[in-house]
Each structure stands twice: as structure tokens, then as C-alpha cells.
Structure 1
Amino acid sequence: MKLTRRTVLGTAAAVGIGTGVAGCLGSEDPPEPPVLGDPDADVTVTVFEDFSCPSCRQYKQQLFPDIEATYIEPERIRYEQRNYPIPVDETWSWAIACAARELYETEGNEAFWPFATDIYDHLGSYSYETIETVADDLGFDGAAAREAAEEESHRSVIEDDKSYGDSSGVEGTPAIFVDGEQVNLAETRPSTAIDAALE
């Protein structure tokens, strides 16, 4: 299932997105994340994002489409998205995450993933009205998403996700883990790490 507009993947797209520190995912019991691909796949890719982070937008728009086409749609991996509000923006890092979580909890994966992709088109000009409009345009409950953002009604869940990230060694976003090992994006493309795990 195609969820995003395909973009050309540049050969150096991974460079400059961020750095990672190798480590293992923490042992704490984190919130259930939105999942794409095969939920029972042997290889799990976990990505921590901050919706106000320009590097996360770059990842979602330039690298994710290739991961989606090559690994997610053929159901070769389990792909999870988790929240890690640094926060880049004290308001929107939390508000957008809460809106996305609301859509996930009330309308499921089919609502979460398109919203979590399309909202990045508005980074730098976020507003509660934008949150509502993006959700509405996708055919989901924009008013509920806006209310969740305004009230930060899922903040405790987002905080639990961030705590899980902390225990996993996350220091910045996007942070990508392949089977528990963090990918250093300054040195390795996510696809390289995924291919190695699939061998």
C-alpha cells in the first residue's frame, strides 16, 4: 500500500540526517507503536521521530519511500514509528505527536501513517487549524486530532515513548534501530543495515 508520494532517493541522502550511537533497545515496556509491514517479521525496524525536526522530515520524504517500497510493502520487515520529542519545538513536537496518536488510537494504522507523513509538508508553519485540515483532507476526524493536539491528551503515552527512547540510547532524531542496533546515519544507509539483518 502506497502511503506517501515517492521521491527520488539521492545517493547521499542519508548523510547529514543525524548521527547515532550503537546500542540495544531498552527493556522497559513501551506503548504499542503504529506498525507497517509484517507485524511478525523476523526483522524489526524502529524509528524515533520528532515531528518538529527538519531531519525527520528529510528522512520521511527522502529515505522512507524507498524503505516502504523495498521492505514494507513486500512485508519483509516489521516497521515501527515511535515518538521522541526532543523537543525541537516546545509546542508542536508534543502537539503533533498527540494528534497522530489520537488518530492511531481511534482510527488505526490507516489513519496514523498518512497523517504522520503529510503533516511534515507543513513543518515551520504548524497550527491547530493545519492539524485539523490535514486530518480532514485525508478523510479522518480532524476535529478530534486538533482537540488532542490542543489538550496534549496523549502526552503521557508520548512521554513513555520518549523514556523508552532514552533507555534505548536515543540522543537525537531520527533514530533508526534495526533489530535493536542503532544505525549511524552519518556512516550507514538504513537499507544497508536492513539488508544485513535480512541475510
Structure 2
Amino acid sequence: MSRTRRAVLATTAAVGIGGVAGCLGNGGPPDAPVNGDSDADVTVTIYEDFSCPYCQTFKLQVYPDLESQYIEPGEIRYEHRDFPNPVNEKWSWEVASAAREVFEDTGNDAFWTFASDIYEHLGSYTYDVIEEVANDAGADGGAVREAAEEEQHRSVIEDNKSHGESNDVAGTPAVFVDGEQVEFYESDDFVMMALEQTTTAIENALE
């Protein structure tokens, strides 16, 4: 996938290494959907916008390798946080709200299924699609649809975004390994670059 310098700066401005700058107030960020061993020594956090094409590419083409190499063996704790840029003023917030409803109502497994499968429809999101994907993930599709339509979880999503901003997140996808932001750079092959940079950071943290 070819990426222009403008795309790198404007769409995936999560470039450079940034340390954790703190939490929201005294209570910290909202609970995050977690995959892998919740007690693993290494935590990988990704900030995503469900309307971002680079987030779609990361989830569908990079995440499966991370899942097989590190998540399924229990070597890392992998957590999702919403960060609507927003790429799309409507769906960036509404799909995130739908995903949050899946997580809060049905749990982690259903969330990760929904969060991957919904990306297959990026560019053609509808409430019917959200409901269908939610049902297929084992959630209550009607309730998830309503959560999207009414943006029921917007305040939680805004808290996640604020937490990301406090950690110098400026665009998506932004990946952190144990609080250090993974450096993504301009590349003609985003998948190869993102996988290489992320796995290198994970391997260094596991040493």
C-alpha cells in the first residue's frame, strides 16, 4: 500500500516515540477490551478509528500475525482504545459506540470478533450492517444498533480519546508497547513496516 507523506502526517500522525504522560484525572482511563493474558508482563495498546483505512489494514493484515505469535501463546496483553480522529464524523463515533456496546454487554470474545469483522464493511457502513455483524459475533444486534444510532457510549469514547491525547496520540493507528509509542514511518508497504516495527518493539519488551 503506497502512502504519501501527507497521508502519513495527516492520517497516521502517530509517528515518533512518546512516553505515557498520565491518566485521566485520578480515575484513569475506561476499562479496555483485552485479548491475550490479562496478567502478561508486556502490554500492547492500540488506538483505532473504525473509519480509518490504515486501522482497517492493521486489524485485517497485521493483527492476525500478532495474535498467532504473541496473543494466543499468552505472551502479551493486547488492549483496544478508541480514538476517533474522526475520519468520518458519523461512523467514527457510531461504530465505536457499537463496539463498546458489544464489549459491555457480551464481553471480550464478542468484542474482538465484532471489531475485526466490522472492518470488512468499511466504506459501506449502515445500521443494518452493524446489527448483522453484532448478531454474528454473538451480541444482541438490536441493542448494538441502538447504541450506534444514539451514540450511547460517546462519553466513554471521548474519555479514551482524551487519554490517548494525554499520551501524545495524534492519529491512528497508534501502537504502544509498555507505554512507549511504536514508531511508524513512511513506507510503500504499510503492512510490512507496521508488522516489523510492532514485533520488534514487542520482542525488545519481552527480553
The answer to whether the superposition gives a TM-score over 0.5 is yes
What does 1:28-177 align with in structure 2 at a 5 Å threshold?
28=23, 29-177=28-176
Once the two structures are superposed, what CA deviation does each residue of 1:41-92 show, in whole Å capped at 9, x if it has no partner? 1110000000000000000011100100000000001100000000000000
- Number of residue equivalences: 185
CA contact (8 A) 1:21 1:170 kept: no
What RMSD in Å do the two structures reach over aligned CA positions?
1.5
Q: 1:26 aligns with which of 8, 18, 21?
A: 21
Amino acid corresponding to residue 152 of structure 2 in structure 1: S
> Alpha-carbon deviation of 1:94?
0.3
Percent sequence identity is 59
Q: Distance in 1 between matches of 2:108 and 2:84?
A: 20
> Alpha-carbon deviation of 1:40?
1.1
Aligned to 1:6: none
Q: 1:193 aligns with which of 185, 189, 201?
A: 201
Once the two structures are superposed, what CA deviation does each residue of 1:79-129 show, in whole Å capped at 9, x if it has no partner? 000000000000000000000000100111011100000000000000111
Q: Distance in 1 between matches of 2:138 and 2:79?
A: 23
Q: Distance in 2 between matches of 1:76 and 1:198?
A: 8
> Alpha-carbon deviation of 1:30?
0.3
What does 1:10-21 align with in structure 2 at a 5 Å threshold?
18=12, 19-21=14-16
CA contact (8 A) 1:21 1:169 kept: no
Q: Gaps (5+ residues) in structure 1?
A: 1-9, 11-15
Q: Distance in 1 between matches of 2:97 and 2:164?
A: 17
Q: Distance in 1 between matches of 2:165 and 2:49?
A: 14
TM-score by length of 1: 0.89
> Alpha-carbon deviation of 1:22?
1.1
Q: Gaps (5+ residues) in structure 2?
A: 2-7, 186-192
Once the two structures are superposed, what CA deviation does each residue of 1:11-52 show, in whole Å capped at 9, x if it has no partner? xxxxx7945231122321100000011111111000000000
What SS does the aligned partner of 2:16 have?
A: coil
TM-score by length of 2: 0.86
Structure 1: 4+ residue segments shifted above 6 A: none
